[in-house]
Amino acid sequence: MNLLLDSWQVLSLDKWPIFVILACMSWGTIILAVGLGSFADLKFNISEYSSLALAGWVVPLFPVSILVFALAVLFHVRPNVQVAIAAFALSLGLVIWANRRARRKNPRGSALTAIALWGILLLSTFLHLAFAARTPLPLYIDSAQHYLIIQNLVKDFTETNALKNFIWPVPVYYHLGFHFITALLAAAFQLNISEAMLILGQIIVGSAAIPLFFLVRLETGLDAAGLFAVLLGSFGWYMPAFAVNWGKYPALLSLLTTQFCLGILYLIGKYRTFSKSRRLIAVGAFSIAISLLIHTRSIILIGMGFTAWASAGWWKSQRFEWRVLVLGIMAGGLLIESILIRNNSNLRPLFDPYLGNTVWMTGFVGLLSIPAFKKHPQFAFACWASILFLLLGLFIPIPHVTDLTLLDRPLVEMVLFIPLSLLGGLGYAASSSLVPAGFGGMKLIGTVLFVGAIIVHAFMSYSFYPSDCCMIVTQDDAVALDWLDKHTPPAALTAISSTELRITASSRNPQTAGSDAGVWITPLTNRPTFLLPFSTDFSRSDTLSFLCKHEISNIYVDDKPQSFNRASVEEKPDWYKNILFLPGAQIFQVTGCK
Amino acid sequence: MKQKRVPIGFVLVTAILWVAACSLVPFLTPPAAGPTTTEISRCRENPTSLCLASFGLDNTGSNMLISFFVPPSSTTDFYLKVQFDTDTYTYPCRAAKNFATSVYCTGEQIPLGTSINIGVYSSKGNTLIAQGTFMLNAIALPTPIIVVPTMEPGETSPAITALPTRTNEISTATTSFSRTMTVTPPGIVTQTPTPINPYPNP
């Protein structure tokens, strides 16, 4: 009841951002579907096209954002609503007109399948909108960084003298693709940045599993198997949707582009005619480049998917004994990796989304993978090999970069649903082929039971709301941040608490990041901050000397598990004056400097 | 034909869900707000209507600060009339920038241990939107003026977190943004609590 009401409320209050983002998504999807059909001479039905193109809708949008950015910075052309709508409509009209002129004939496909696919997309997106009803800001520490980068880009988009006052959005490269796209939406359509991030995030989450249809449909030839994989990916586990709680927006967006690139690579393998594959290779290379800009590690994911598929091809061509041996080695490798992960405190949470109260779902997929291996051996092998590679990526260090591995725990946790859902879809197709002819009713009942089980599970244990774990900004923080903006000088330097990010197998030199609502001071008030370890003891004289030396004038004391210890600040009333007190957030002024 | 049967299952389930959702929505939509006065209470978890979030102190001007949760669709343009004993004070309110659901009001500091009546008035038309009576209590802390007022009888005070154990670990640092600095502060870190995994699961 509340879920529907909350989704409805977001839908009615945020009509404009929802409309804009859905319109851009539809634009990218249509441009890509029509363009792919003409350029690479593909013939798919509406469901296949839409599932593939929905994965790659940012592929045409990203170059547009770069072009608009260049026009804004170099030639002072400001993006605005009218021009954006006209440009989108014109390009859409041109592409559709060119396609009609070419009189291309695509297979019709099942209208029911298309309705079901779009139904799942709309339902999933609608339900996920409820998330935005309970938080005014995107969650966790990453979101503050994303917000700041987008804010800098929006300034570059809209400043009258952008080239002269150009703000480099970020000192070190940080997945700029997501930020460029969100900044374009915010600047051209006058969207509030946090609203744009929240809504875009939920729409990405709602559509993250739709591309699964494409690969499963093409491999099995069954619409139902594709739809089953989509449903499994959408509601089977709390990942990837939970990643919005971590503010992992670029990684979420890259889930789509990664699936698009894998779809194109699959087609390249499938169509061996030179002219077709040559054009697909061009599309694939372009898409991989864009995916790389959206999230750097997506290239590793794509590489792993490709390697898994290639090794599955090799495996399939081997003698039976060899195949069994390789399978045994793979199972052993997975077991060893699992043990290593369970014994590493940084990586241990990795399996939570798949082995917690959803263990039966994962087990169910495991069971389905047995018939999948029988009927679709190469694909099923590739799925398991992908899981093996994903886990392996957690332990392979990147050369010359301290403490970074090919993949990190949160990303692998987010991505594992893809091979699992694909296996589920393949297994569903293989099992339904076991039903003897003339027992169609049984197949229908089985399908409704399968689907019903996933939906019941979703309604019983799936949360569409922000998790308490990651809501670092409370009502008191909102007041404190606004108060800080109003009552402190623009140059006032505020100390905020920080912690170590231990998300890779090694923990020798972890990165440092803000650990409470203090991370929002710079994005929301444009005041500088100074990260100090959350365990800093403010009652020590060397700490005071340090603060004075760096001209830190305020200390932001929050009430999160990794915030500064308030008692150590309050111990020295002569050094620190409490200038704002709220039960959940305090600001102290450093008064003890000579 | 057989191929079409299975998608029918999906269509049926999806259609049933959609029909259920759409038919429920009109009943779930709250009625349009009228000019009635509502009772304000302290905010609970995930509030949906106007409620009092917290009391605080703005020590730059020795003002009391009262913050409210405001539902997204409601007006944030209001002020308070705070009554205690025979005196009535007006508190101007301000919507927190970037937070559509947060409004805070500042005004005369009121002695602790007293009962106050808060009236929320719309700035346009000066009509009373909501009101409530609260009790101000104090908790003495080592600093000069720290006040945590609790409102309604029977409410519990927030849990006190245990202090972390002490070691001499010093964290490393990286620079992330030009307006956010991080350095290694040698010698000032003396407490290392149990490490918490970043990006926690629910």
Chain B CA closest to residue A169: B177
Which of B18, B24, B185 comes nearest A546 by C-beta?
Answer: B185
From chain A, pick out residues whose CB is under 8 angstroms from the CB of B143. 570, 573, 578
Co-location of A521 and A376 in the same domain: no
pLDDT attached to residue A95: 79
Are A272 and A198 contained in the same domain? yes
Inter-chain contacts counted by CB atoms under 8 A, chains A and B: 301
**Average pLDDT value over all residues in chain A:** 89
Q: Do B58 and A580 touch (CB under 8 A)?
A: yes
* Domain annotation covers residue B77: yes
Q: A53 in a domain, yes or no? A: yes
Domain boundary residue among A286, A308, A336? A286
Q: Are A38 and A99 members of one domain?
A: yes
pLDDT at B177 over 50: no
The arithmetic mean of pLDDT across residues A99-128, rounded, is: 84
> Is residue A162 very low, low, confident or very high in pLDDT (cuts 50, 70, 90)?
low
Residue scoring higher pLDDT (A532 or A511): A532
**A102 compared with B68, residue with greater pLDDT:** B68
In this structure, are A232 and A353 located in the same domain?
no
Cα diameter, chain B: 82
Nearest CA in chain B to A141: B199
Looking at residue A173, its pLDDT comes to: 60
- Given a cut of 50, is residue A560 above it in pLDDT? yes
Mean of pLDDT values over A113-129: 93
Q: State what percent of residues in chain A have pLDDT above 70.
A: 95
Q: What is d(CA A332, CA A305) in angstroms, rounded to the nearest whole number?
A: 20
pLDDT of B197 strictly over 90? no
Cβ-based neighbours of A216, under 8 Å, separated by 6 or more: A222, A225, A226, A228, A229, A422, A425, A426, A429
The single-letter DSSP state of residue A171 is S
pLDDT score, position A207? 94
- Half-sphere exposure of A297 toward its Cβ, with a 13 Å CA cutoff? 22
Q: Is A277 exposed, middle or buried (0-12, 13-18, 19+ CB in 10 A)?
A: middle
Least trusted range by pLDDT, from A64-68, A566-570, A582-586:
A64-68
Q: Encode A360-386: b = buried (16+ Cβ within 10 Å), e = exposed.
A: ebbebbeebbebbbebbbbbbbbbbbb
Q: Please write the tens of the pLDDT for every residue from A382-403.
A: 999 999 999 999 999 887 776 7
- Among A434, A464, A490, the domain boundary falls at A434
Which residues 6+ apart lie within 8 Å of B160 measured at CB?
Answer: none
- Residue A578 has its nearest CB partner, among B2, B67, B146, at B146
Residue, of B183 and A124, whose pLDDT is higher:
A124
Q: Is residue A465 part of a domain?
A: no
* Pairwise CB contact (< 8 Å): B7 & A116: yes
Choose between A379 and A507: higher pLDDT: A379
Determine, yes or no, domain membership for B62: yes
A170-213 pLDDT, tens per residue?
A: 666 677 889 999 999 999 898 999 999 999 999 999 999 999 99
A120, A230 in Cβ contact below 8 A?
A: yes
DSSP string, A96-164: HHHHHHTT-------HHHHHHHHHHHHHHHHHHGGGGGG-SS--HHHHHHHHHHHHHHHHHHH-TTTTT
- Residue with the bigger pLDDT between B118 and A594: it is B118
Q: What is the CATH number of the domain that holds B92?
A: 2.60.40.10
Least reliable range by pLDDT among A79-93, A110-124, A329-343: A79-93
The count of residues in chain B is 202
Sequence letter at residue A75: F
For residue B143, the SS3 value is: coil
Q: How far apart are CA A235 and CA A217, in angstroms?
A: 19
User: Would you state the pLDDT for residue A175?
Assistant: 78
Q: Taking 60 as the threshold, does the pLDDT of residue A498 lie above it?
A: yes
Return the SS3 of B189. strand
A535 shares its domain with A575: yes
CA distance B141 to A238: 43
Report whether pLDDT(A517) > 90. Answer: yes
**What are the tokens at A439?**
């027992």
Q: Is A79 helix (H, G, I), strand (E, B) or coil?
A: coil
Q: Which domain holds residue A514?
A: 472-590
The amino acid sitting at A281 is I
Range of the domain at B109: 38-135
> What pLDDT was estimated at residue A428?
92
In a domain, B79, yes or no: yes
Q: Write the CB contacts of A302 (distance below 8 Å, at least 6 apart in sequence).
A: A258, A261, A262, A265, A288, A291
Q: What is the arithmetic mean of pLDDT over A70-91?
A: 81
Q: Kindly state whether residue B96 falls inside one of the protein's structural domains.
A: yes
Looking at chain A, which residue has its C-alpha nearest residue B4? Answer: A110
Last residue of a domain, one of A381, A410, A434: A434
Please answer yes or no on whether B179 and A479 come within 8 Å at the CB atom. no
Tell me the pLDDT tens digit for each residue of B129-142.
Answer: 899 998 886 533 33
Which residues in chain A are closer than 8 Å to B67, comparing Cβ atoms? Answer: 475-476, 478-479, 582
Does residue B160 register a pLDDT over 70?
Answer: no
Whether residue A282 is found in the same domain as residue A413: no
Contact between B6 and A447 using a beta-carbon 8 Å cutoff: yes
The verdict on a CB contact (< 8 Å) between B59 and A537 is: no
Shared-domain flag, residues A58 and A190: yes
Which residue did the predictor score with more confidence, A189 or B186? A189
Question: What would the pLDDT profile of A60-77 be if each residue is shown by its tens digit?
Answer: 999 988 888 888 888 777
pLDDT score, position B8: 55
- pLDDT confidence bin for B110, thresholds 50/70/90: confident
> In chain A, pLDDT over 90 holds for what percent of residues?
66
Could you write out the three-class secondary structure of B53-84? Answer: EEEEEECCCCEEEEEEECCCCCCCCEEEEEEE
* In-domain check, residue B68: yes
Q: How confident is the model at residue B17 (pLDDT cuts 50, 70, 90)?
A: low
A466 found inside a domain: no
Give the span between the Cα atoms of A106 and A176, in whole angstroms: 36
Instruction: Using CA coordinates, name the residue in chain A closest to B16.
Output: A119
Q: How many CA atoms lie within 13 A of A174 on its CB side?
A: 20
CA torsion sign for B130, B133, B139, B143 is positive
Residue B173 has a pLDDT of: 30
- A301 with A271, same domain: the answer is no
Dihedral sign from CA coordinates of A459, A464, A465, A471:
positive
Whether residue B167 is predicted with pLDDT greater than 50 in this model: the reply is no
- How is chain A split among helix, strand and coil, in percent rounded to 5? 65, 5, 25
pLDDT of residue B164: 29
Among the residue ranges A169-183, A280-294, A361-375, B187-201, the one predicted with the least confidence is B187-201
Task: Give the pLDDT mean for A326-334.
Answer: 95
Element of type H or E holding B182: strand B180-182
Number of structural domains, chain B? 1
Identify the pLDDT of residue B151.
39
Q: What is the mean pLDDT of residues A80-99?
A: 81
Residue A383 tokens, joined: 């799925």
Closest C-alpha to B80, from B34, B47, B128, B39: B128
Residue B139 pLDDT: 34
For the range A81-86, what are the long-range contacts, defined as Cβ-Cβ under 8 Å and sequence gap of 24 or more? A81/A188, A81/A189, A81/A190, A83/A188, A84/A188, A84/A189
Q: A562 and A496 in contact (C-beta within 8 Å)?
A: no
Query: Is residue B147 over pLDDT 50?
Result: no
Does residue A249 sit in the same domain as residue A321? no
User: Which residues, 6 or more positions from A401, have their beta carbon under 8 angstroms from its beta carbon?
Assistant: none
Nearest to A112 among B4, B18, B53 (CB): B4
Return the number of other C-beta atoms located less than 10 Å from residue B47's C-beta.
19
Q: Are A302 and A155 part of one and the same domain?
A: no
Q: What is the pLDDT of residue B11?
A: 54
pLDDT tens-place string over residues B22-63? 555 555 555 444 456 788 888 988 888 899 999 999 988 788
Residue A367 lies in a domain: yes
Burial of A473 (0-12, 13-18, 19+ CB in 10 A): buried
Burial A304-332 (b: 16+ CB within 10 A, else e): bbbebbebbeebeeeeeeebeebeeebee
DSSP structure class, residue A405:
B
A46 Cβ neighbours under 8 A, 6+ residues apart: A106, A108, A109, A114
Q: Give yes or no for residue B6 having a pLDDT over 70.
A: no
Q: How confident is the model at residue B5 (pLDDT cuts 50, 70, 90)?
A: low
> A378: distance to nearest CA of chain B, Å?
24
Domain count, chain A: 3
Which residues contact residue A317 at a Cβ distance below 8 angstroms, ignoring those fewer than 6 apart? none
pLDDT average, residue stretch B183-187:
51
3-state DSSP percent of chain B in helix, strand and coil, to 5:
15, 30, 55
